[in-house]
Amino acid sequence: MAAELSPIDKAKFVAARRAVDLIEDGMRVGLGTGSTAAWMVRCLGERVREEGLKLVGVPTSARTADLARQVGIDVVALDEAKWLDITIDGADEFDPALNLIKGGGGALLQEKIVATASDQMVVITDASKEVNHLGGFPLPVEVIPFGWQTSRALIEELLDSMDVLGRQTSLRLNGSEPYVTDEGNYIIDLHLNRIGNPRQLALVLNQIPGVVENGLFIDICDLVIIGGTDGKVEIRDINEGSVAHDTIEFAEEENIFRDLD
């Protein structure tokens, strides 16, 4: 039941519900990964079941693919879809220019590939993810397992010349073992506190041997939808330079909540 959701989940839900209103019949849709994106996938599945909406989804992780199939969304690979009309995903942080840090869920590589293969990227979030400067959330860097400690040392050396407040790094773990991405890689999290020049950092990190991709999404997001615990949403369009507001009404009980784990 909607009434049983925590305030943060209500904010995520209303942002997701508003975002899926952007989906039209026949679209090819990138499906993000993470707790907020999972709300979007469920909301989109509800439209597919109740309205007969026809679309194909390109998931950004194995777990998103599993959820999409469970709620009735047709799933295809990006190479089959080729180009997408829209991608909807969450973010760990976003700044006033709608630059993002993503990858807290470990899917940053597929998320970035899918987002950049889309006409439009929409981020759904709550107000807690908005920051003046990126870097409070650890920045994920995906590296291949071979020589990962060398890659980490090179990253730490690079950070000495970057405009950041912190320079600690850590290997992401799953229990006592390294966390492994869908592509079989490791993630090194950079604890930077504040990133003075995200664009520069994104470029130079990817020059380090062994680095596959980093979680800085620069000039990729077009629209951010910020959900509130009261059902209100704010929609910021970076291309139009506009800000709009809406309110999402939901009943005390919705179909979408019935099969939540």
Please provide the distance, in angstroms rounded to a whole number, between the alpha carbons at the two ends of the chain.
12
Q: What pTM value is reported for the model?
A: 0.94
* CA 207 from centre of chain: 23
pLDDT tens digits, one per residue of 95-119:
999 999 999 999 999 999 999 999 9
46, 51, 80, 111: the active-site residue: 111
Residues of the chain with CATH 3.40.50.1360: 2-131+219-257
Strand partners, 58: 30
**Mean pLDDT along residues 45-72:** 98
Between CA 206 and CA 149 the distance in angstroms is 16
Catalytic residue list contains 111: yes
Phi, psi angles (nearest 5°) of residue 86? -160, 150
Residues of the chain with CATH 3.30.70.260: 139-212
Q: Which residue type does 15 have?
A: A
The annotation places the binding site for substrate at 33-36, 89-92, 102-105, 129
**pLDDT band for position 258 (cuts 50, 70, 90):** low
**Mean pLDDT along residues 164-184:** 98
Alpha carbon distances (Å) from 154 to 107, 171, 177: 23, 14, 22
The annotation places the binding site at 33-36, 89-92, 102-105, 129
Residue 130: DSSP 8-state: B
* CA 194 from centre of chain: 20
Architecture of domain 2-131+219-257: 3-Layer(aba) Sandwich (3.40)
Q: What is the dihedral of CA 154, 160, 163, 168, to 10 degrees?
A: 70
pLDDT tens digits, one per residue of 175-224:
999 999 999 999 999 999 999 999 999 999 999 999 999 999 999 999 99
pLDDT tens digits, one per residue of 139-149:
999 999 999 99
**pLDDT band for position 254 (cuts 50, 70, 90):** low
Question: Domain 139-212 belongs to what topology?
Answer: Alpha-Beta Plaits (3.30.70)
- Percent of the chain at pLDDT > 90 equals 93
Cα angle 64, 223, 54 (rounded to 5 degrees) comes to 50
pLDDT at 1: 40
